[in-house]
Amino acid sequence: MNSRTPVIHSSSDAAGSDTTTDLYNRHRYRLIQDHLQRAIRAGRIVPGLVLLEGPVARLFGTSRVPVRKAFELLHSDGLLLTFDGRGYLVANQDGTAPEPLRAPLSETALGFDAPPEPLDLPTTGERIYRALEEAVSVAIVFGHFRIDESLAAETLHVSRGVVRETLTRLRDRGLIEKSTYSHWLCGPLTARSVAQDYELRMLLEPAALRSSQPFLQHEMLAAAIAEIEEAIAHPMSVDAEKLQQLETTLHVDCLAHARNRKLLDTVRHAHMPLTVNHAFYQAFNLHPEAGTLEEHRAILRCLMAGDVDHAASALCHHLKNGQTRTLQRLKVLAVLPEPDLPAFVVPFP
Amino acid sequence: MITVTPPQSQSASIAAPAIIGSKVELRVIGTSVTLQEHIREKAEQDLGIKLNFIVLDGPLAQREGVMHPEHYDVYDQWFHSLDCLWPAHALQPIDVRRINRWDEINALPRTGHLAGRPGTTAGSVPADRLYVQRDNSLGRTTSARISMLPLTHNADSFAYLADEIPPRLIDQGESWSWLLAPELAGRVALQADPAIGAIDAALAVRASGLMEFQDIGNLSIEEIDGLIEILIEYRQRGHFAGFWSTFAEAAQLMLRNQVAIQSIWSPAMLELERAGLKPQLASPHEGYRAWFGGLALSRLVEGRARDAAYDYLNWWLDGWAGASMARQGYYISNPERARQYMSKDEWAYWYNGNPAVDLVGPTGQRRSLAGQCRDGGDYAARMGRIAVWDSVMDEQNYLVRRWGEFLRAQ
């Protein structure tokens, strides 16, 4: 490796990066999936309604890619069904197939009970999300900080509402807290909090995996295995972004079908260690060691073979090793000099 | 974009690796503890290589060590700093089969204690990070690969000017609590590196009865907060006269800033003696804070430069360097070899704790130690009474940030 200038990306460059397109799409498909899932379960979308990618994408203000992905996931959950025609049908509440109903797809037909949150927002939303996530994940290494909503809105050229909404999402991931005085607070990153997050994940992720496993699609697992094989064969090609993508595949996508949403929310709340690792790999421009990648592969192979017991124990083993590795990496961060943080990241108290 | 780079002044002189004519140039990064001109000249002469010593203070050497393995071939520092360098893949394992005198290295760095003496488990115990394990982590299980070649080491404490210490304290016997004695307000200095200074401070706080710590080598968040609060309070009362990063700064603090007591590194004693001061090194009844130094290989060193690096590592175990280290108060991991380069009197004073006769320093300067004994006795007595090793704690990142607040507090 010739160049090892350690760089911690701040909000400004992350905001406009093209390399994050995949991530935007991933977040978008989840928004779409979540919305449709809620609406179908609540009976707000009439069974039999034929959903087509194009019109749904227009309603959400996105491309067809995230809509296709959301449809596939809803299909694997049994909420959408294929039929002898283009698109998907909305299943009956009991999962059976109704007669196809071809009707114009409007906001009302898709169960929006209010004019949709400006779903032309996702790109901006994701841009702001990435910017604030980066700022917070860098700041917490260096102490305890308050995020100034107005300054953030000013710096990122968006409304305070958008900033607030984004910070709420970061709170759901356990990266930020809201104090009793309504301050948004983050950090400090400690070995104790990392260890506690891992303890929680060791308890919950295997359970979530067991619940999600029956719904995992062969194609998705095959793609995930191909991706990890590629990473093992070419570890030098795995940068911080790529590693985060691999982590998301295993620790988010493979668990996503668990029926217990509260369980998944709690797991997501304990994902701060992923942020530590991302900060570590980005700061030192490193590539993951073989152990991490091989543990991922072992879990995915068990899932592919339908062996959920071994998959769950391999996941537990991976998280245990991950805890050790992450705590070691956290010590290394101690050598980093304090960087200039964005103005909206204010030392607290 | 937030870019992390070392200060220009520190990195400007760091050249790319070079082979000049037929000579290999080896870049060694570390601190003034071991990177000294007379060592460099002698090693160049013995090995027929060029040596470029890059001298930084401890934390900066660690930062460069972690972030820029392309800037050095050999890393010369302390075992505790491996907790920062090893997970960052900055180093490559050393093949012990290429270390000629590997079998001469004594038990302390290999097993954590000397024969017949208990070892402490507090702090970053060198033996726990010596051997490279099958999964590339570091541990105590022996293997043919090591992280760092164990060399210089010592049991550290503080130095004081006996005339300036109130009789109340002298009567109580030497204790880390002296560093926080109210009578000495304004005349106390500490080491600025948190991996060392914070431990000295914690030893002082504990000895003063201000706080208890469950494991003084691995403080919890609450313990770090409590320690820093106490230190800030003392700082605001004007208790500390200064903080030092190199032993030269430590000497200056005592010479110019009226410091009467401070944590100290042994080479500073030479400079103080030269200036006519006669500070005493303490042997606190609570035990010493110990450290182990050594040499490690950059992940990127290869070919002829790596061969030269192995030659340099081996040279350190040949005896001459060990004898030179002894004359500034440091031990070497294969002392019997160093003994061959020391006079009987030198060995008797530095390793056996006998009264000094007529001794010289590392570069031949006379030392005024006649009749005195080394603090704490002989090698086994001193290295067998370790309260804690220098440490990179689990919460090191948190400690470093809070320690920074203490150093900045007004």
pLDDT score at B343 = 95
pLDDT score at B220 = 97
**Residue of chain B with shortest Cα separation from A131:** B1
Nearest to B325 by CA among B42, B15, B25, B118: B42
Contact B84 A332 (CB under 8 A): yes
| Residue type at position B51 | L
pLDDT score at A22 = 44
Contact A6 B2 (CB under 8 A): no
A318 touches B at CB < 8 Å:
no
B83 touches A at CB < 8 Å:
yes
Contact B398 A190 (CB under 8 A): yes
ipTM given for this complex: 0.85
pLDDT, average across residues A198-218: 95
pLDDT score at B16 = 52
**Residue of chain B with shortest Cα separation from A140:** B398
Structure tokens given for B354: 């006998």
CB contacts, 8 Å: A142 with chain B: 401
Per-residue confidence band for A118, with pLDDT thresholds at 50, 70 and 90: very low
Contact B1 A13 (CB under 8 A): yes
Per-residue confidence band for A113, with pLDDT thresholds at 50, 70 and 90: low
Question: pTM (2 decimals)?
Answer: 0.79
pLDDT score at A208 = 96
Contact B87 A4 (CB under 8 A): no
- Chain B nearest CA to A15, separation (Å): 11
Contact A331 B397 (CB under 8 A): yes
Per-residue confidence band for A173, with pLDDT thresholds at 50, 70 and 90: confident
B98 touches A at CB < 8 Å:
no
pLDDT score at B143 = 96
- Chain A nearest CA to B49, separation (Å): 25
Phi, psi (deg, nearest 5) at residue A42:
-80, 0
Q: What is the pLDDT of residues B183-226, one digit of tens each?
A: 999 999 999 999 899 999 999 999 999 999 999 999 999 999 99
A243 has pLDDT over 80: yes
Per-residue confidence band for A86, with pLDDT thresholds at 50, 70 and 90: confident
pLDDT score at B168 = 94
Q: What is the pLDDT of residues B325-334, one digit of tens each?
A: 999 999 999 9
Q: What is the pLDDT of residues B26-77, one digit of tens each?
A: 999 999 999 999 999 999 999 999 999 999 999 999 999 999 999 999 999 9
- Chain B nearest CA to A191, separation (Å): 6
Q: B103 vs A9, A348, B99, CA distance in Å?
A: 48, 54, 9
Nearest to B217 by CA among B243, B196, B235, B192: B196
Residues of chain B above pLDDT 90, percent: 79
For the range B373-379, what are the long-range contacts, defined as Cβ-Cβ under 8 Å and sequence gap of 24 or more?
A: B373/B349, B374/B281, B374/B349, B374/B350, B375/B157, B375/B280, B375/B281, B375/B282, B375/B283, B376/B155, B376/B283, B376/B288, B377/B283, B377/B353, B378/B351, B378/B352, B378/B353, B379/B331, B379/B335, B379/B351, B379/B352, B379/B353
Closest partner CB to A190 (pick from B68, B221, B404): B221
A233 touches B at CB < 8 Å:
no
| Under-50 pLDDT residues of chain B | 1-15
Interface probe, candidates B1, B2, B124, B228, chain A, greatest A C-beta count within 10 A: B2
Mean predicted lDDT score pLDDT of chain A: 83
Residue A220 C-beta-side C-alpha neighbours within 13 Å = 21
- Chain B nearest CA to A69, separation (Å): 33
Dist CA A158 CA A344 (whole Å):
13
B389 or A55: which carries more pLDDT confidence?
B389
Per-residue confidence band for A315, with pLDDT thresholds at 50, 70 and 90: very high
A1 has pLDDT over 60: no
Determine contact, residues A342/A135, Cβ cutoff 8 Å: yes
Residue B342 C-beta-side C-alpha neighbours within 13 Å = 31
Dist CA B234 CA B222 (whole Å):
18
Structure tokens given for B222: 């609450």
Determine contact, residues A163/A128, Cβ cutoff 8 Å: yes
pLDDT, average across residues A331-342: 87
Strand-pair category, B74-78 with B131-132: unpaired
pLDDT, average across residues A215-221: 92
CB contacts, 8 Å: B397 with chain A: 141, 189-191, 330-331, 333-334
Contact A337 B62 (CB under 8 A): no
| Residue type at position A211 | S
Identify the burial level of B39 via C-beta atoms within 10 angstroms of its C-beta, where 0-12 means exposed, 13-18 middle and 19 or more buried: buried
pLDDT, average across residues A105-134: 70
pLDDT score at A101 = 87
pLDDT score at A114 = 56
CB contacts, 8 Å: A324 with chain B: 137
Q: How far apart are the first and last CA of chain B?
A: 31
A241 has pLDDT over 70: yes
pLDDT score at A27 = 66
A273 or B363: which carries more pLDDT confidence?
B363
CB contacts, 8 Å: A188 with chain B: 398, 401
Contact B69 A4 (CB under 8 A): yes
Contact A339 B68 (CB under 8 A): no
A86 touches B at CB < 8 Å:
no
pLDDT, average across residues A278-296: 82
